[in-house]
Amino acid sequence: MTHWLAVAVPTPAHSGLGEPLTYRAGAPLAPGSIVRVPLGAREVLGVVWAEAPAPAPELERQVRPLAGIFEGLAPLGEDWRQLIAFTARYYQRALGEVALAALPPQLRTLSGVQLARRLKRRSAAAPEAALDTIKSEALSADQASAVARIDQEAGPFLLFGVTGSGKSEVYMRAAARVLAADASAQVLVLVPEINLTPQLLARFATRFGDAAVVALHSGLTPAQRLAAWLSAHSGHARIVLGTRVAVLASLPRLRLIVVDEEHDPSYKQQEGARYSARDLAVYRGKLCGAKVVLGSATPSLESWHASSPAPEGPGRYTRLAMPRRIGVAVGADPQAGLPRVRRVDMSRQPKGTLIAPPLLAAIGERVARGEQTLLLLNRRGWAPVLHCADCGWKSECPHCSAYRVFHKIDRTLRCHHCGFAQRVPRACPGCGNLDIGTLGRGTEQLEERLGELLAEARRPDGAPARIARIDADSTRGKGQLEASLAEVHAGEVDVLVGTQMIAKGHDFRRVTLVAAVNPDGALFSSDFRAPERLFALLMQSAGRAGRDAAQSAASEMWVQTHHPQHPLFVALKGHDYSGFAAEQLAERTQAGLPPFTHLALLRADARDQQAAQDFLNALAAQARAVLGEDAALSPALAQIGWFPAVPLPVQRVAGIERAQMLLESPSRAALQRVLAACQPLLHTLRASTAHRGIVRWAVDVDPLAM
């Protein structure tokens, strides 16, 4: 007997085949079964979504049979399929594209026989998971209150705790209670960056046992990622710790989801299905009845607003406050354990000053005491631009509308957008001038200049100061990041220079001084989220100082700025996130910006900027004409604001011109209905002769980068 199955397959993003395709099988298969199917001339991985209606008799012979079945692998659960369907629908992507992207890449290359062998080996070698093998430390009053409320209330929860307040211990206690209450329960812990995974993984593994905890992120080898996914899917892994990709992992007995540093923009995927792992975590918790804990010292304004009780906010989340660092008694000033923030007015310093003399003296004092300093400069390379003062030539990238960054270490000009690199020219390519200069400063230059400025500084043992740099360039090789962090933790580094990589989540016990060298650029950005990101970065950076209670009184955060009285720096000095958030939300209310309105970006890439803009403007015109005549869609269309197409801030990357069009609406439902109705219009427009120059288009719902 023939059975017809609807199978989700990885159809091309612009093919228009968003629905599952029909295949035939000789026996019924449960929804969620993983299979191999023919697709064109290829054989691909697929997921059985449901039974399909029988095709018309004249079409039956055209329906192709399954190519293989992964027997021995339990079907993907109903909760998982609902999550994938919602993700595809909300973020305007094909169902199969999202479903297959959520599966480990190596699974796509294996046959059913090969997978069966691996499952057999894993079953024979898998140890029993041991839980709660190490006794945990006593909780502070704030921690105990948070753990009790997570245990007793439904949530979702926003754990608003200052840096050093012990949020990680709250996560582990909440996980321990969930696992103890249900012998088969699973916990998902999300972190924003791969480089934060090893240290948090080690803490969870120490507490719950190596066999109970697995990591899941894109930095793993294909074999490691498949092994971790299989462990989670089978339920053997009790705790899965990973980056945003882990939110779509198969966890059939999920009971708790933790999103650490929930404010971090890394949770938003910027390619393909542009989903927000933080938002999907909240939705997934509702689907499977799991509790959700979002944690941050600087919550996103969306989460902060959602946790504000009426009338200030909708009160969808339960806010749990942890205002004191570990070791600060209840009733004491909450700022007692936080670093003192000092602002340096750079307009009063000599022109060209890189490190203000008072800050340099403070760094020298730390070196002499055996303490550590972090210097934050969120720009890698030696200098962002190489230029000629005679003819005005600058190191522009020939493929991007951006400058190539000067890297002195290997004497290259390198584009950080497309990767194009060339050796530094001996003379100006424009006029032949031999005296080519630099504009701006990067971490390489800061590292070298510090070596000169601290040449006389001595450690307690009389040795010279040791300076290290951590950024995307210095940690490119395998194991380099781990080795660099190990040196810092071991006290072998006195001054650490780096980008935002050093500001997130690290527990450096010897750091007593953190300094932001040049944070002013984000104050006047055209992106309305820039102040929020800068404040979070500086607060998180300050949180690296004084984490050891014995040194907290001497900890400081220095900010070198030309605008010391800017409200952002005033709020930072008082560690006043609540005041900063209230001011930002008031501005967004007046401007009609998120979280008080909902946004989507339509993007188009083409060889010509005008072609990209024409494509988007034609879509807007056609949508108004076609959807406006539809009685069911016209009310939703009336709630949408369309802005003209414009170039992206970096409008050309790798020779491709990029344009975008902003849509806004006070109604999320109306925006979703219009975006869904625009999908066939986009396919039709791209296929037309008038828009053949379009390379690709994309829909970005709830965009973070604008």
What span, in angstroms and rounded, lies between the C-alpha atoms of 425 and 511? 40
Number of domains into which the chain is organized: 5
DSSP characters for 448-492? HHHHHHTTT-B-TTSPBP-EEEESTTTT-STTHHHHHHHHHHTT-
Annotated binding-site residues read 388, 391, 397, 400, 415, 418, 428, 431
Task: Specify the pTM.
Answer: 0.92
Secondary structure string (H, E, C) spanning 64-113: CECCEECCCCCCCCHHHHHHHHHHHHHCCCCHHHHHHHCCCHHHHHCCHH
Cα separation values, 155 from 159, 162, 544, Å: 11, 20, 29
Do 166 and 309 reside in the same domain of the chain?
yes
Band of residue 706 on the pLDDT scale cut at 50, 70, 90: confident
What is residue 313's predicted lDDT score, i.e. its pLDDT?
76
* Residues in Cβ contact with 586 at an 8 Å cutoff, skipping those fewer than 6 apart: none
Do 172 and 256 reside in the same domain of the chain?
yes
What is residue 328's predicted lDDT score, i.e. its pLDDT?
78
364 assigned to some structural domain: yes
Strands 291-296 and 157-161: parallel
Annotated binding-site residues for Zn(2+) read 388, 391, 397, 400, 415, 418, 428, 431
Band of residue 152 on the pLDDT scale cut at 50, 70, 90: very high
User: What is the average pLDDT across 295-314?
Assistant: 90
Band of residue 59 on the pLDDT scale cut at 50, 70, 90: confident
What is residue 548's predicted lDDT score, i.e. its pLDDT?
67
Do 149 and 270 reside in the same domain of the chain?
yes
Among 14-18, 97-101, 475-479, the least confident range? 14-18
Asked if pLDDT for residue 134 goes beyond 60, the answer is no
Asked if pLDDT for residue 506 goes beyond 90, the answer is no
209 assigned to some structural domain: yes
Do 609 and 625 reside in the same domain of the chain?
yes
Do 246 and 270 reside in the same domain of the chain?
yes
328 assigned to some structural domain: no
Question: What's the CATH number where 25 sits?
Answer: 3.40.1440.60
64 assigned to some structural domain: yes
What mean pLDDT, rounded, does the chain reach? 90
What is residue 439's predicted lDDT score, i.e. its pLDDT?
87
What span, in angstroms and rounded, lies between the C-alpha atoms of 186 and 241? 11
Question: pLDDT tens-digit profile of 193-211?
Answer: 887 777 788 888 889 888 8
Asked if pLDDT for residue 84 goes beyond 90, the answer is yes
Band of residue 631 on the pLDDT scale cut at 50, 70, 90: confident
331 assigned to some structural domain: no
Maximal CA-CA distance, the chain: 89
Question: What's the CATH number where 303 sits?
Answer: 3.40.50.300
Cα separation values, 604 from 307, 611, 645, 682, Å: 36, 9, 9, 10
Band of residue 552 on the pLDDT scale cut at 50, 70, 90: low
Do 152 and 239 reside in the same domain of the chain?
yes
Look at residues 125, 159, 187 and tell me which one is the last residue of a structural domain: 125
Token pair recorded at residue 696: 């690709």
For 633, the domain range is 598-701
Do 212 and 360 reside in the same domain of the chain?
no
Question: pLDDT tens-digit profile of 411-453?
Answer: 999 999 999 999 999 999 999 998 888 888 899 999 999 999 9
* Residues in Cβ contact with 469 at an 8 Å cutoff, skipping those fewer than 6 apart: 443, 444, 447, 496, 497, 498
User: What is the average pLDDT across 360-366?
Assistant: 94
Look at residues 563, 591, 619 and tell me which one is the last residue of a structural domain: 591
User: What is the average pLDDT across 391-408?
Assistant: 93
Do 565 and 527 reside in the same domain of the chain?
yes
Asked if pLDDT for residue 123 goes beyond 80, the answer is no
Token pair recorded at residue 45: 């991985």
Do 107 and 70 reside in the same domain of the chain?
yes
Which residue bears the tokens 């230059």?
A: 445
DSSP characters for 526-594? SSTTHHHHHHHHHHHHHTTSS-SGGGGGG-EEEEEES-TTSHHHHHHHTT-HHHHHHHHHHHHHHHT-T
What is residue 164's predicted lDDT score, i.e. its pLDDT?
84
Do 632 and 656 reside in the same domain of the chain?
yes
What is residue 604's predicted lDDT score, i.e. its pLDDT?
95
Do 586 and 610 reside in the same domain of the chain?
no
Asked if pLDDT for residue 299 goes beyond 90, the answer is yes
Do 181 and 303 reside in the same domain of the chain?
yes
User: What is the average pLDDT across 499-509?
Assistant: 79
Question: pLDDT tens-digit profile of 210-251?
Answer: 888 999 998 889 999 999 999 999 999 999 999 999 999 999
